[in-house]
Amino acid sequence: MKSAASSRRSAEVIGEPYADADGVPYLPMFRQPVLVFEGTKETLTAAHGRVLARALPRAVFTSDFFATGNDRESRAAVRAVPTEERDLVGLSVCRPRSAVDKVLKGTRRHT
Protein backbone atom coordinates (compact mmCIF):
# COMPACT_ATOMS: atom_id res chain seq x y z
CA MET A 1 0.00 0.00 0.00
CA LYS A 2 1.35 3.44 -0.94
CA SER A 3 1.53 6.22 1.59
CA ALA A 4 -0.01 9.61 0.78
CA ALA A 5 3.49 11.11 0.48
CA SER A 6 4.55 8.33 -1.88
CA SER A 7 1.48 8.90 -4.05
CA ARG A 8 2.19 12.65 -4.25
CA ARG A 9 5.79 11.99 -5.32
CA SER A 10 4.64 9.54 -7.96
CA ALA A 11 2.02 11.97 -9.26
CA GLU A 12 4.81 14.44 -10.09
CA VAL A 13 6.56 11.87 -12.26
CA ILE A 14 4.02 9.28 -13.34
CA GLY A 15 0.68 10.07 -14.95
CA GLU A 16 -2.62 8.23 -14.86
CA PRO A 17 -2.98 4.68 -16.17
CA TYR A 18 -3.85 4.22 -19.85
CA ALA A 19 -6.64 2.11 -21.35
CA ASP A 20 -7.49 1.40 -24.97
CA ALA A 21 -10.93 1.51 -26.60
CA ASP A 22 -11.58 -2.09 -25.51
CA GLY A 23 -10.89 -1.25 -21.88
CA VAL A 24 -7.54 -3.08 -21.78
CA PRO A 25 -5.51 -1.36 -19.01
CA TYR A 26 -1.89 -0.20 -19.43
CA LEU A 27 0.65 1.13 -16.97
CA PRO A 28 1.06 4.90 -16.52
CA MET A 29 3.80 6.72 -18.44
CA PHE A 30 6.21 9.44 -17.38
CA ARG A 31 4.44 12.80 -17.38
CA GLN A 32 7.51 14.58 -18.66
CA PRO A 33 10.02 13.68 -21.37
CA VAL A 34 12.95 11.63 -20.13
CA LEU A 35 16.36 12.82 -21.25
CA VAL A 36 19.38 10.58 -20.82
CA PHE A 37 22.84 12.06 -20.32
CA GLU A 38 26.21 10.38 -20.08
CA GLY A 39 29.55 11.16 -18.53
CA THR A 40 32.61 9.62 -16.98
CA LYS A 41 32.46 7.84 -13.63
CA GLU A 42 33.97 10.98 -12.07
CA THR A 43 31.36 13.24 -13.68
CA LEU A 44 28.53 10.98 -12.52
CA THR A 45 29.92 10.86 -8.99
CA ALA A 46 30.21 14.67 -8.91
CA ALA A 47 26.62 15.03 -10.18
CA HIS A 48 25.45 12.62 -7.48
CA GLY A 49 27.18 14.75 -4.85
CA ARG A 50 25.43 17.88 -6.14
CA VAL A 51 22.06 16.09 -6.14
CA LEU A 52 22.59 15.05 -2.52
CA ALA A 53 23.79 18.52 -1.49
CA ARG A 54 20.63 20.07 -2.96
CA ALA A 55 18.40 17.30 -1.54
CA LEU A 56 16.79 16.71 -4.94
CA PRO A 57 14.54 13.68 -5.42
CA ARG A 58 16.65 10.97 -7.04
CA ALA A 59 16.94 7.35 -8.00
CA VAL A 60 20.26 5.57 -8.01
CA PHE A 61 21.49 2.73 -10.19
CA THR A 62 24.54 0.71 -9.17
CA SER A 63 26.34 -2.16 -10.86
CA ASP A 64 25.13 -4.43 -8.02
CA PHE A 65 21.56 -3.29 -8.70
CA PHE A 66 21.71 -4.72 -12.23
CA ALA A 67 23.09 -8.04 -11.00
CA THR A 68 19.86 -8.83 -9.13
CA GLY A 69 16.71 -10.43 -10.44
CA ASN A 70 13.98 -8.51 -8.63
CA ASP A 71 13.11 -5.28 -6.85
CA ARG A 72 13.60 -6.67 -3.32
CA GLU A 73 17.14 -7.85 -4.11
CA SER A 74 17.91 -4.58 -5.92
CA ARG A 75 16.93 -2.57 -2.83
CA ALA A 76 19.06 -4.85 -0.64
CA ALA A 77 22.03 -4.45 -3.00
CA VAL A 78 21.81 -0.65 -2.82
CA ARG A 79 21.32 -0.71 0.97
CA ALA A 80 24.38 -2.93 1.50
CA VAL A 81 26.93 -0.43 0.20
CA PRO A 82 27.78 2.97 1.76
CA THR A 83 27.24 6.02 -0.48
CA GLU A 84 30.92 6.74 -1.02
CA GLU A 85 31.74 3.11 -1.86
CA ARG A 86 28.99 2.25 -4.32
CA ASP A 87 29.72 1.59 -7.99
CA LEU A 88 27.40 4.24 -9.38
CA VAL A 89 26.41 3.60 -13.01
CA GLY A 90 23.28 5.72 -13.28
CA LEU A 91 21.31 8.49 -11.62
CA SER A 92 17.78 9.78 -12.13
CA VAL A 93 16.75 13.29 -11.10
CA CYS A 94 13.30 14.83 -11.42
CA ARG A 95 13.06 18.57 -11.01
CA PRO A 96 12.65 21.67 -13.20
CA ARG A 97 15.19 21.80 -16.01
CA SER A 98 17.18 24.67 -14.49
CA ALA A 99 17.86 22.67 -11.32
CA VAL A 100 18.70 19.49 -13.23
CA ASP A 101 21.03 21.32 -15.64
CA LYS A 102 23.05 22.62 -12.67
CA VAL A 103 23.56 19.20 -11.09
CA LEU A 104 24.34 17.48 -14.40
CA LYS A 105 27.11 19.93 -15.30
CA GLY A 106 29.80 18.11 -17.27
CA THR A 107 27.51 15.46 -18.72
CA ARG A 108 26.36 15.28 -22.33
CA ARG A 109 23.14 14.10 -23.89
CA HIS A 110 23.30 10.39 -24.68
CA THR A 111 22.86 9.59 -28.35
Give CA–CA dist 55/52, Å, rounded: 5
Residue 83 pLDDT class (50, 70, 90 cuts)? very high
pLDDT digits (tens, 9 = 90+) for 10-32: 667 778 889 999 999 998 888 77
pLDDT digits (tens, 9 = 90+) for 33-63: 788 888 899 999 999 999 999 999 888 889 9
Torsion-angle region of 25 (φ positive above 0: left; ψ -120 to 50: alpha; else: beta): beta
In order of start, what are the domains of the chain with their CATH numbers?
1-31 (no CATH), 33-109 (3.40.1490.10)
Give the up-direction half-sphere exposure of residue 43: CA atoms within 13 A in the CB hemisphere.
10
User: In this predicted structure, what is the pLDDT of residue 1?
Assistant: 43
109: how many CB neighbours lie within 10 A of its CB?
A: 9
Which letter does DSSP use for residue 86 in this model?
A: S
CA-wise closest residue to 90 among 111, 65, 61, 68: 61
User: In this predicted structure, what is the pLDDT of residue 2?
Assistant: 46
Residues 6 or more apart in contact with residue 58 via CB below 8 angstroms: 48, 51, 52, 91, 92, 93, 94
